[in-house]
């Protein structure tokens, strides 16, 4: 069964600290993995996308890693800011099949950054 | 313009009402999506339109009826909804729905069914 699991469910950190969010998936076959940031009541915004051959991708203070062998990804946030408070969603994509859904969303990690 | 807009932002409706949610993008994207998101849950795909044709319907009840009048617009017509349909409805678009596409999401419509 194609599943995407994220941990922790929620996380509270002090402003300025670093944190790492985890994503484990059983989706197969694999095309790519994305991390999205979703502010409360807003639509998700793409942070990074990685294909099978990429194992690190950075976007400012966000660095995503991918281990396609163990089917694990992480999102590392450096020097957290209050505006980083949001849900972070891992999305895994399978190759396109006509008429089939090929996106699998994780349950998300709710990050709260406190001053 | 890298924005997907959705109207209205909030909608409260009774179970006998008929209403519509609207989504618009001007990025030249040819794939558009409707998702439903309950609190603290990931978005669930409802419909996908590719080149203005419905390509995916994830077994959504007929009280939800999508419409794609042109490549920039996507509507979701609502009729005889149930209280459990209350959720955030997200619209997204992508270049042409292929695997490498990034989906750009709108801000969502917060729907409450009384």
Q: How many CB pairs under 8 A join A and B?
A: 58
* Residues of chain A neighbouring B4 (CB-CB closer than 8 A): 43
Task: Evaluate whether B47 touches B34 at the Cβ level (below 8 Å).
Answer: yes
First-last CA distance in chain A:
41
Helix (H, G, I), strand (E, B) or coil at B84: helix
Assign A98 a pLDDT band (cuts: 50, 70, 90). Answer: low
Residue range A68-95: mean pLDDT, rounded: 95
CB atoms within 10 A of CB B56: 20
**Range A49-55 average pLDDT:** 89
pLDDT at A1: 80
Model confidence over A18-33: pLDDT tens digits?
A: 999 999 999 888 889 9
Task: Please answer whether residues A9 and A99 qualify as being in contact, where contact means their C-beta atoms are separated by less than 8 angstroms.
Answer: no
Give contacts of A89 with chain B, Cβ < 8 Å.
Answer: 42-43
Whether residue A108 and residue B100 make contact (CB cut-off 8 A), yes or no, is: no
Which pLDDT does position B101 carry in this prediction? Answer: 76
Asked if A32 lies within 8 A of B99 by C-beta distance, the reply is yes
Q: Helices (H), strands (E): how many in chain A?
A: 0, 11
Cα gap A67→A86, rounded to integer Å: 25
Token pair 């972070």: residue: A88
In tens digits, chain B (114 residues) has pLDDT values of 568 999 999 999 998 889 999 999 999 999 999 999 998 888 999 999 988 999 888 889 999 999 999 989 999 999 999 999 999 999 999 987 776 678 899 999 999 999
Tell me the CA distances in angstroms from A14 to A39, A60, A114, one per residue in order: 18, 19, 5
Say whether pLDDT at A100 is over 80: no
A34 vs A63, A113, B38, B93, CA distance in Å?
12, 22, 21, 16
């Amino acid at each position: 069964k194609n599943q995407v699991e994220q941990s922790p469910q929620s996380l509270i950190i002090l402003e300025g600290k670093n944190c790492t969010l985890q994503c484990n998936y059983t989706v197969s076959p694999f095309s790519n993995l994305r991390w999205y940031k979703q502010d409360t009541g807003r639509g998700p915004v793409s942070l990074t996308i990685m294909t099978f051959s990429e194992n690190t991708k950075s976007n400012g203070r966000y660095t995503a890693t991918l281990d396609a062998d163990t089917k694990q990804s992480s999102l590392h946030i450096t020097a957290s800011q209050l505006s980083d408070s949001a849900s972070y969603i891992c999305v895994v994509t399978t190759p396109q099949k006509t008429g089939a859904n090929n996106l699998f969303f994780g349950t998300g990690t709710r990050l709260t950054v406190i001053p | 313009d890298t924005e997907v807009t959705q109207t209205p932002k909030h909608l409260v409706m009774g179970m006998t009402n008929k209403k519509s949610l609207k989504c618009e993008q001007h990025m030249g994207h040819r794939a558009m999506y409707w998702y439903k998101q309950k609190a603290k849950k990931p978005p669930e795909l409802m419909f996908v339109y590719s080149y203005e044709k419905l390509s995916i319907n994830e077994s959504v009840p007929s009280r939800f009826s999508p419409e794609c009048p042109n490549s920039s617009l996507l509507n979701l017509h609502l009729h005889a909804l149930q209280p459990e349909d209350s959720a955030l409805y997200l619209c997204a678009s992508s270049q042409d729905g292929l695997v490498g596409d990034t989906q750009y999401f709108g801000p969502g419509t917060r729907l409450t069914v009384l």
